[in-house]
Structure 1
Amino acid sequence: MLSLIIATASLLVIQNLNLSWYMSFWTLLLMSILSILQLFTNSFTFLMYNEFLLGDNISSILISLTLWISSMMFLASQSSIKILMNASMKFCMYVLSLNLVLITAFSVTNTLMFYFMFEASLIPTLMLILGWGYQPERLQAGMYMMLYTVMASFPLLLILLFASKYLLCSSIMHNSIIQAKLLDMKWSSSLLILFSLLAFLVKLPVFSLHLWLPKAHVEAPVAGSMVLAAILLKLGSYGILRIYQYFNLQFNINLIIIFSLVLWGGVLTSVICFQQVDLKSLIAYSSIGHMALVLGGLFSNNPWGWTSALIMMIAHGFCSSALFMLANCIYEKAHTRNLYAIKGLLLLSPILSFWLFMFSAINMAAPPSINLLSEILMFPVLMSFFKYLIVCLIMTSFLAAVYSMYMYTSTQHGGTPKFLVPYMSFNNISSTTLLLHWLPLNFFIMKTDLFLI
């Protein structure tokens, strides 16, 4: 982990010496391949940490996802950013800074350092939205994102400062010490759970705390949408898992209430998907439904549920990133993301239609993707805690298939509008990028022991 942090920091320093676009891309791709190879070592599943860094399978997989998606961001942004020299240098600097912050956040054991990295990830993301957004409303979207996250995470900072002083420990791994001292804290049963998880519930986000996400996605460039959906939402899931370990939270009535509201909120957001006119907004609302299932797996408080949540996090990261890239390809060719205006792309660009069909099928958990594996593992875990949740689980899974089919058929079938280009080409770079998203989704099914917690 330390080697990846040093390599990313060195790459960021070299970037100030006019490092080229392709050098940044190939370096990130090489680092992602090395991080994936690390997953196959014999000592991978064991916890390896010192006073400052940890390296278990959760953090290692998320670091590999971060580096892989970051290299895909360079490929997806070539047509809109690389042609401008100054813009491309700033873009590389922001992406590399975001990589350094995220890798550090996924590696540190100190809770306060994790909090600072958690908040620092907003700055490069905000710069991507403000610098390369599409509409003037990107200022409002950036303000929404900052206010929601900062205001919700302020109570978490107070709790971490109090806990580090009261417990005399700020390391995530010292569970036994914290468990012994938390037994004397009467307020820990309700207020601790609520305020310590609020920042991460906003980051996921869950229903009723989600209004910043569709706005940020609609106004963000393709690279901003990819990193926001694929990595930054997973930072909230990772934070919930670490806070679970730090405070040794137990499954009680408070978590059941949050748990039930979030899952029913996932059903409501799946219904809201049918009301969306903007293609990126539809994909953003579908992410909220998937993150509701991830939160259910995290709240199950057992290794089986955590494993299913981790698999769904990785599957959603690759799938949502590819869907946002496809939405950008449609926007570049049709100059609109309105679902009522985009029709008949099946005749104009068959390759684009093929890739949209593949990732729509993965989004509805079709085999052999790891998305299907995560749902198969997650449903028994959630039903074992509260049997009435089977209703919302069935509805969430069914509605995910329906809105994925709706997204595909509404754009590919029907008469072709007159303003669309008669013969829309789909370049090889876009196909390569989508292929690099598709391969991990379908071939990790043969190496599922990587995700065992």
Structure 2
Amino acid sequence: MLNLLFPMFLMFFISMNPLYSWFSLATAFFLLTFLSMMELWAPFLDLILFNSFTMSDLMSSGLISLSLWISGLMILASVKINQMKRNPRSFLVAVTLLSMILILSFMVSDLMSFYIMFEASLIPTLMLVLGWGYQPERLQAGMYLMLYTICASLPLLMNLMFIYFNEGSLHMGLSFFYSSLMNNSMLPYWWALTIMAFLVKMPMFIFHLWLPKAHVEAPIAGSMILAGLLLKLGGYGLIRISLFMPHLMFKISPMCNSVALWGGVLTSFICLRQSDIKSLIAYSSVGHMSLVILGISLTSSWGWKGALIMMIAHGLCSSCMFALANMNYESTSTRSMFLTKGILSIFPAISFWWFILSICNMAAPPSINLFGEITLINSALWASFFYMIPLGLCSFLAAAYSLLLFTSTNHGSAPPFLNTQTIMSPQFYTTSMLHAGPIFLLIMSSEIISQWV
């Protein structure tokens, strides 16, 4: 994976050059994606970079490939920034910097280095939200994002220092059981404080209030990177730190799973009452990531495999749905589902992509989302049959609000203020195809993202 760092550093400096093409940088991200996927098709390369600084296994390789792919699609979907001359060079620098930080986050083998990259990702994200957001409320959204992330990360920093002073290492390949602290009744609460930073980033219900605000006020690139990658950074960190103390993770799993699953049910009901398209997609992410929290906290092989599959599937699906929501916003200048209607009667091709992504969001076959949900449900039933009640409600409500989103935006009479010239832009069709293609192609070779553990 070190062969990716030099091109990324080169792209960072080239993006400052005003003569550099907007689409050339997106093409470079796509080419680097295929370079990073070499390890996914070559299992003998697993842990080939296992050393004191970098560690590359099949999980990190899959998420690095997702990061590069989504970064290229972000640039492709944000071409209006270049057309309107809204500081396009600064935008490309922010996107490239954020991609570099995410790749380093998935590559480092030390938890303290991961913590530094975990926090550093907040800076370019705030640049995107504050610099290219649409409404004045983006300042409040940036404040929500910053306060939630920083306040939840302070206990993680203190506990990482405590682990280092007691064990002398924070390498991700090690597992510590703390035999001297096994009888301490406060240890589960200490562990809950440790993982709180990752639960906020995912986010888990009760820590999710920053997510809809940030999504609604962020530009299309900010929404795509938040849904597609930054939420997955929390899941990746939760898996990595669970390897340190899997027994503690399993011990607090009933509490985490109860809050996450029933919180997912509540946010699914909230989705049924939403009138804002981006807000509905943002709340649906809370329900989907609750299944990821369930799989990780059970510390089983099936749970971790299902969590990784679900993270990659949700990253592609939600990112594309935000791109389609942005297309609606640019053509109608509103995010309201009551005013954005009638796309089916004017542009059936756009309605086709809305339908494809809606059925992927409800985990219908033959999408990779279905494989991830089945794996997670099997791992949950292994732990307790009572998980079936909130899981069934989450699946049913996901289908309900996905169909509601599709019918509200595509059926009915078209509004008179619809700008048909904007919706005919070819990059919308290209972006949708490049999102949906991997979702259906990965089901044909799902082992490349599920055989890491």
TM-score by length of 2: 0.96
Query: For residues 8 and 215 of structure 1, what CA distance do their matches in structure 2 show?
Result: 31
Conserved? CA contact 1:129–1:219, under 8 Å:
yes
Partner of 1:49: 50
Conserved? CA contact 2:77–2:220, under 8 Å:
yes
What amino acid is the match of 1:392?
Answer: P
- Please list every run of 5 or more consecutive structure 1 residues that lacks an aligned counterpart in the other structure: none
1:290 to 288, 291, 297: 288
Find the residue that maps to 1:301 and give its secondary structure: coil
Query: For residues 281 and 146 of structure 2, what CA distance do their matches in structure 1 show?
Result: 21
Conserved? CA contact 1:348–1:424, under 8 Å:
no
What amino acid is the match of 2:191?
Answer: I
1:30 aligns with 2:7: no
Partner of 2:219: 221
Partner of 1:258: 256
2:353 to 352, 355, 362: 355
State the Cα RMSD in Å: 1.7
* TM-superposition CA deviations, 1:168-212 (whole Å, max 9, x none): 11211122xx22556557266312321111000000001111010
Aligned residues: 450
- Please list every run of 5 or more consecutive structure 2 residues that lacks an aligned counterpart in the other structure: none
What amino acid is the match of 1:218?
Answer: V
Partner of 1:330: 328
Partner of 1:104: 104
Partner of 2:317: 319
* TM-superposition CA deviations, 1:42-91 (whole Å, max 9, x none): 4144564111100111100000000000000111000x211255711001
* Cα offset, 1:227, TM superposition: 0.5
Query: For residues 299 and 47 of structure 1, what CA distance do their matches in structure 2 show?
Result: 28
Query: In terms of mean alpha carbon deviation, does 416-425 or 130-139 score higher?
Result: 416-425
Partner of 1:114: 114
1:142 aligns with 2:139: no
Conserved? CA contact 1:205–1:233, under 8 Å:
yes
Query: For residues 84 and 145 of structure 2, what CA distance do their matches in structure 1 show?
Result: 27
Partner of 2:66: 65
Partner of 2:89: 89
* Cα offset, 1:423, TM superposition: 7.5
Query: For residues 171 and 156 of structure 1, what CA distance do their matches in structure 2 show?
Result: 15
Conserved? CA contact 2:331–2:420, under 8 Å:
no
What amino acid is the match of 1:228?
Answer: L
Query: For residues 103 and 56 of structure 1, what CA distance do their matches in structure 2 show?
Result: 13
* Cα offset, 1:3, TM superposition: 1.8
Conserved? CA contact 2:129–2:219, under 8 Å:
yes
TM-score by length of 1: 0.96
Find the residue that maps to 2:412 and give its secondary structure: coil
- Where do 1:199-278 residues align within 5 Å? 199-278=197-276
Find the residue that maps to 2:74 and give its secondary structure: helix
What amino acid is the match of 1:153?
Answer: S
- Where do 1:174-213 residues align within 5 Å? 174-175=174-175, 178-179=176-177, 183=181, 186=184, 189-213=187-211
Conserved? CA contact 2:17–2:89, under 8 Å:
no
Conserved? CA contact 1:349–1:423, under 8 Å:
no
* Cα offset, 1:432, TM superposition: 1.1
- Where do 1:368-447 residues align within 5 Å? 368-421=366-419, 425-447=423-445
Find the residue that maps to 1:337 and give its secondary structure: coil
* Cα offset, 1:259, TM superposition: 1.2
What amino acid is the match of 1:60?
Answer: S
1:126 aligns with 2:145: no
